[in-house]
Structure 1
Amino acid sequence: MNGKGQPTEKRFQQGGRDLCYFEWGDPDDQTILMVHATGFHARCWDKTIAALPSGYHIIALDQQGHGRSSKPESLSDWGKAGGDVCALVAGLDINNIIGVGHSMGAHVMVQVADAMPERFARLLLIDPTIMEPRAYQNPPDVADMEPVSRRRNDWKSPDVMFAAFKGRYPFNLWQPDVLMDYCQYGLLPADDEQGFILACPPILEASVYEGIYSMDPYPLVKRIRLPVTILRAQMGSDDVTPVRDFASSPTWPGLVNVFSNAQEVHIPELSHFMPMQDPERIAHFIAGESGVSA
């Protein structure tokens, strides 16, 4: 088993699911389970994982439609993503989990912790995509996702992608080595073997955003008794919704009060892309070393 260097790439296949996941460390140690945000992939966590202290077993997965996992026709049903991770947790029989989710991945982590709370020790929800409760009862119109579905999908190399993104907002907020991981592991060889394509096809990424209100997380949130820490990033302006302004926080400020055992840390100097801007700080929160009890 690899330590904190390069992980072991593995696959979980069950009931039509085909998930890729990456594993670091000794399975006898406490497990950290990491679920990435929309359009990203497991290896976006690499620099956060490198900053963790030793003594953890770490699993980071590619959600369906992302990275090296299978590509369904649509990702608009957020509940299916939770079912995928539940199947993985049960299939690998992991317990005493520190559950870490970023953005939509935090919504997924809430689903999994609600379904199998006995397998978790605590949760760290990094700027979760959980809006105010009334939004799920009377969903507003979802912003036009055509720009997402039309993202550039063909690249000559990860280096070319990095050069194109490094000066572009919000990628210019990221640490360059994290952006390089995003580019290096976020591309797959094109079918014609001429260059690369995005590992999360733009049409699938757009379908995630189109389904943003497909599952109301609040009945689940109210049932969770686990210790929860919420990291909340900078807020956008009142006239720009989080679905449109990808760098501002989508997290409802009142979420912390709906959980029975939660605390919130507001970090206004960071954008929604917290793990990409400051992976070392995120690692401290995962390990409970932030100066705030987790």
Structure 2
Amino acid sequence: MGEPREHRLATPDGELCWFEWGEAFDRPSVLLLHATGFHARLWDQVVAALPAGTHVVAPDSRGHGRSAKPASLSDWAATSDFLLPLIDRFAGTRFVGCGHSMGGYLLTRLAAERPQAFRHLILIDPVIMPPEFYVDVAGQPVPDPAEHPVARRRNRWDGWEAMNAHFASRPPYANWRPEVLADYCRFGLLPAADGEGWELACPPALEASVYLGALRTKPHGWFDRIAASISVIRARTGERDGNLDFSVSPTWPGLGAALGAKRDEQWAELSHFIPMEAPERLADLIAAEL
């Protein structure tokens, strides 16, 4: 599919960066939403495996990549609504939406807010929990992101090659396709503010605020406004070793039934990082819905 075109879109909540392959025409387009801490160009290998000429739109979510950086990302509904101007820009276009992890959560809200825009949703191991897991946070402050372990991630790098070499033999990155890891590193750094080296495009404290907000906005109330058909793809199951263990699926096993999904599958040989481990298989699934 070649290199994408990079665009910027002004929104009420800051600039939205998005990437585009192909041109919109009379068949559905593809919308790809990435996971927490990542960016739109992590989809490059999935896009490369799609049929030639497929129109693809992949944004950097709020606080990620080259999009605007707010003070916090604890409000997942606001993170989703940041993308609505992009959906509205393509009014009249029907999307097959594919969202991974947090991206799957965001996709459900976009499809509820703009039901006419979506033909089908593919939720890849979305971080949606049972209804009883969500807490009433009215009036409660968000915990300090600095106290979360993700906030202590290494932020400064000499370049993407050094970052790639550092992660190549470490889990979970060692299980990713090497070319996907290279895309993560190559496009996941921005010039440091002080001009010395490079920094993560999703600052660690912002990424930490995403995790701290994961159970503060209950999505189940908008499920009945989704008009599109749905596929839920889950990774292997097992006991999680803490909230940051993504070797197994974090997805509520009852989600497919709650959404009335037409497809509810477990890809048991894969971890939560399905797009990074099996991009061609995922591309085939997307192509089948076009």
Does the CA-based 8 Å contact 1:224-1:260 persist in structure 2?
Answer: no
**In structure 1, C-alpha distance between the alignment counterparts of 2:200 and 2:33, rounded to whole Å:** 19
Does the CA-based 8 Å contact 2:122-2:230 persist in structure 1?
Answer: yes
Classify 1:288/1:23 alpha carbon distance in 2 versus 1 (closer, same or farther; 3 Å): same
Residue by residue over 1:148-184, the C-alpha shift from the partner in whole angstroms, topping out at 9 and shown as x without a partner, is 0010000001000000000101111100000000000
Partner of 2:182: 180
Partner amino acid for 1:252?
A: W
Partner of 1:255: 255
Does the CA-based 8 Å contact 1:51-1:280 persist in structure 2?
Answer: yes
5 Å-filtered alignment, 1:99-178, equals 99-137=97-135, 146-178=148-180
**In structure 2, C-alpha distance between the alignment counterparts of 1:102 and 1:27, rounded to whole Å:** 23
5 Å-filtered alignment, 1:29-44, equals 29-44=27-42
Partner amino acid for 1:101?
A: G
Q: Work out which of the residue numbers 81, 84, 87 in structure 2 matches 1:83.
A: 81
Per the normalisation by structure 2, the TM-score is 0.93
Q: CA deviation at 1:94?
A: 5.0
**In structure 1, C-alpha distance between the alignment counterparts of 2:62 and 2:170, rounded to whole Å:** 27
Partner of 1:27: 24
Corresponding residue SS for 2:66? coil
Q: CA deviation at 1:137?
A: 4.8
Corresponding residue SS for 1:246? coil
1:18 aligns with 2:20: no
Q: Work out which of the residue numbers 47, 66, 73 in structure 2 matches 1:68.
A: 66
Q: CA deviation at 1:138?
A: 7.1
Does the CA-based 8 Å contact 1:222-1:258 persist in structure 2?
Answer: no
**In structure 1, C-alpha distance between the alignment counterparts of 2:235 and 2:147, rounded to whole Å:** 23
Partner amino acid for 1:232?
A: R
Q: Work out which of the residue numbers 3, 6, 24 in structure 2 matches 1:6.
A: 3
Q: Work out which of the residue numbers 167, 192, 195 in structure 1 matches 2:194.
A: 192
Residue by residue over 1:101-151, the C-alpha shift from the partner in whole angstroms, topping out at 9 and shown as x without a partner, is 000000000000011111111000000000112101579xx9996220010
Partner of 1:284: 284
Partner amino acid for 2:70?
A: P
How many residue pairs get matched?
284
Partner amino acid for 1:216?
A: K
Does the CA-based 8 Å contact 2:73-2:207 persist in structure 1?
Answer: yes
Partner of 2:212: 210
Q: CA deviation at 1:26?
A: 1.2
The runs of 5 or more residues in structure 2 that have no matched partner are 138-142
Does 183-192 or 41-50 show the bigger shift? Answer: 183-192
Does the CA-based 8 Å contact 2:115-2:225 persist in structure 1?
Answer: no
Classify 1:150/1:261 alpha carbon distance in 2 versus 1 (closer, same or farther; 3 Å): closer
- Give the share of equivalent positions with the same residue, in percent: 45
Partner amino acid for 2:219?
A: P
Partner of 1:54: 52
Corresponding residue SS for 1:6? coil
Does the CA-based 8 Å contact 1:24-1:58 persist in structure 2?
Answer: yes
Corresponding residue SS for 1:56? coil
Residue by residue over 1:12-71, the C-alpha shift from the partner in whole angstroms, topping out at 9 and shown as x without a partner, is 102232110000001225210111000000000000000001232100000011101111
The runs of 5 or more residues in structure 1 that have no matched partner are none
Classify 1:261/1:153 alpha carbon distance in 2 versus 1 (closer, same or farther; 3 Å): closer
Does the CA-based 8 Å contact 2:24-2:93 persist in structure 1?
Answer: no
Q: CA deviation at 1:287?
A: 1.0
